[in-house]
Structure 1
């Protein structure tokens, strides 16, 4: 089934009924102050809808965190509504645990994305499969290193604004 939301074609419709409540449970946990229960691998992204300007909240898995540079790296499908919203308005906030951070979204080019993939794949094949469920993350990293082209996942780097204390 192919649907269109916000001018983007999606293959699966959003969940409805009880599935929607289960899918939105992590957002509820962040809102009631139980963000630390979810650990540091998840963050709550506050993003402004590019079409109507409403504020939305999405829980995302962190691919990598660099405390030295003060940034989180996320993998995204190129047609994800939150990704397209960040492309339109890159200044936003995230919540990790019970702490909020002002961030700026940056979108790495192909070479930087290949470097991210290479670093991520060195963490082991399980980690690579978790980042890209189709299992093509490791294949694309090796293809990029050998000069062949592959479809790399789209990455977003969220850089923390200066002067904020990091976790």
Structure 2
């Protein structure tokens, strides 16, 4: 498995299992920490789906922040960069939105805030890309690195 290409084989099947949970109408079982993102394939033009962890939510605006755990080369990230109009579902709630890749500094700031709220999860996430963070400054640097780090995206409801 590489950060650029994502998981393959059995590991890919395991990562796809939450999509099946949503498709079965059981997305509520995953709580509010995960969402189903529906986006358009940049080459095929066909709808694609992936389940991602919610890094942050703004109850006032409905905006949701998500992280690319497989780095800048994740297929969903490349797809939303080409076609930012998306739909996401948290539990049973479906929302039409526009996806916006956060500027590097803001991405870094939000990743550091996420690490402060969920230190174990954040550490596991960045270790998966080969990073060994030591404090908020490292998380800010990893979040700001679009190629080898963990870029963050905000989903803005329409």
TM-score range (shorter-chain normalised) is: 0.7 to 0.9
Change (3 A) 1:151 1:120: closer
Equivalent of 2:101, from 80, 93, 107? 107
SS of aligned partner of 2:98: strand
Question: Could you list the runs of 5+ residues in structure 2 that have no partner in the other structure?
Answer: 144-149
* Aligned-residue offset at 1:138: 5.2
Query: 1:126 and 2:120 equivalent?
Result: yes
* Aligned-residue offset at 1:96: 0.9
Query: 1:23 and 2:34 equivalent?
Result: no
Equivalent of 1:46, from 35, 38, 63? 38
Counterpart in 1 of 2:52? 60
Q: 1:93 & 1:131 partners in 2: Cα distance?
A: 24
Counterpart in 1 of 2:147? none
The alignment covers a number of residue pairs equal to 148
Q: Deviations over 1:37-85 (max 9, x none)?
A: 1111111111110011011111111111111221111111100000000
Equivalent of 1:156, from 148, 153, 157? 153
Query: 1:35 and 2:22 equivalent?
Result: no
Question: Could you list the runs of 5+ residues in structure 1 that have no partner in the other structure?
Answer: 3-8, 162-167
Counterpart in 2 of 1:142? 137
> Which structure carries more helix by proportion?
2
By relative contact order (CA 8 Å, sep 6+), the higher-ranking structure is 2
Q: Contact 1:45–1:57 at 8 Å: present in 2 too?
A: yes
Return the TM-score normalized by structure 2: 0.80
Larger Rg: 1
Equivalent of 1:70, from 59, 62, 87? 62
